[in-house]
Amino acid sequence: MQRPPLRTLSFFEAAARCGSFRIAAQELHITTSAVSHQIRKLETFVGKPLFVRHSRGVKLTIEGAAYFEAIRAAYERIDEGTNKVCRNSSRETLTIRCGVSFGLRWLLPRIQLFISQYPDIDLQIYTPTAFHEAPIPPIDVEIRYGPVIETGLCVEPLLEETILPLCSPALIKDRNILREPKDLSTFRLIDSEVSVVNWAQFISINRIPLLNYSTLKFDNILLGLQAAVSGLGIALEGDFLAGEDLAAGRVIVPPALRQLAIRRSLRSFVVQEPNSGVDKIIIFRDWLFEMLSEDAHHHDFPSHV
């Protein structure tokens, strides 16, 4: 007999136990829509509804309740067997290097999901800092921002992003002050020294007739984005990192600049070629790209408005 997609069972177990897609999503550190999508996928497989949806939450159907009892018993046996194996096995440590922005905005909220799926893998996460002098162990995986030019590396680009001009809604409350791209000269343009696409390049690529403008520059992407949220000017950032601020309405794309977007892959998954077949690295690589694919499928923020 064909088995259901195993990933859907963890979502079903959490939603059934919590009695809520929203609470299950918080526990799993993903979106409510992602939980709903996985439950629908499981319901399609079994050919019948497992939950009754209503305005205050969800409730198991008769079939769903029976299925939950079976799944819960199976999970208990899996946990028991896993604990026995873990007591007799050595743990592994995966060392990851990534930028502060990626680590804080994307990786950190999802770490609990990884370690719950792979409890035998301990994580060490390092970020590059200007004054970091203490020695660090060899890096297993790097999520690198910008181009990779070294040889001897396996490099896989992450998802392609849309690079957008972003500012606080309050900054352009008077919409007459930014009616066309050349009006950017009246604003301070926020740059990051590490950005793959800076304002000078953006202006050139989009052929904006802008020769003289004020700037505010940071050495950190998150600082530049926060400066835009604070109304200090207009920043330039990919929707991947800025998605949370866009969805919350803390920043918007000025209407006059909506057509001025650039598509680029800004980050890559990087490992040393001799290590590309190491189990713990393959596990993390597959998990990372699955999470990114799910995020792309469930983007619920307005990347072009």
Q: Which has more confidence, 84 or 273?
A: 273
- Third-level CATH fold of 92-155+272-297: D-Maltodextrin-Binding Protein; domain 2 (3.40.190)
The residue extents of the domains of the chain are: 6-87, 92-155+272-297, 160-265
Residues 6+ away with beta carbon under 8 Å from 245? 166, 225, 229, 251
Flag whether pLDDT at 299 surpasses 90. no
Q: Which secondary-structure segment (H or E) carries 269?
A: strand 267-272
Q: What percent helix, strand, coil does the chain show, rounded to 5? A: 45, 20, 30
Alpha-carbon torsion angle 29, 277, 153, 135, nearest 10: 70
- Third-level CATH fold of 6-87: Arc Repressor Mutant, subunit A (1.10.10)
Task: Decide the pairing of beta strands 57-60 and 51-54.
Answer: antiparallel
Confidence tier at 5 by pLDDT (50, 70, 90): confident
Q: What is the mean pLDDT of residues 266-282?
A: 93
Single out the residue of 291, 234, 296, 290 nearest to residue 265, CA to CA: 296
> What is the chain's length?
305
Amino acid 128: pLDDT: 78
Alpha-carbon torsion angle 215, 255, 298, 280, nearest 10: -20
Residue with tokens 């001009």: 165
List the single range of 16-30, 122-136, 228-242 with lowest mean pLDDT: 122-136
Give the DSSP letter string of 250-285.
SSB--GGGTT--EEEE-EEEEEEGGGTT-HHHHHHH
Same fold, 92-155+272-297 and 160-265: yes
Amino acid 225: pLDDT: 92
User: Do residues 195 and 201 touch, judged by C-beta distance below 8 A?
Assistant: no
Alpha-carbon distance 173 to 301, whole Å?
A: 21
Predicted TM-score of the model (pTM): 0.64
Which residue type is seen at 241? L
The CATH-assigned architecture of domain 160-265 is 3-Layer(aba) Sandwich (3.40)
Flag whether pLDDT at 139 surpasses 80. yes
Residue 35's CB is within 10 A of a number of other CB atoms, namely 26
Q: At what angle do helices 32-46 and 21-28 cross, to 10 degrees?
A: 110
Amino acid 85: pLDDT: 66
| Eight-state DSSP code of residue 175 | G
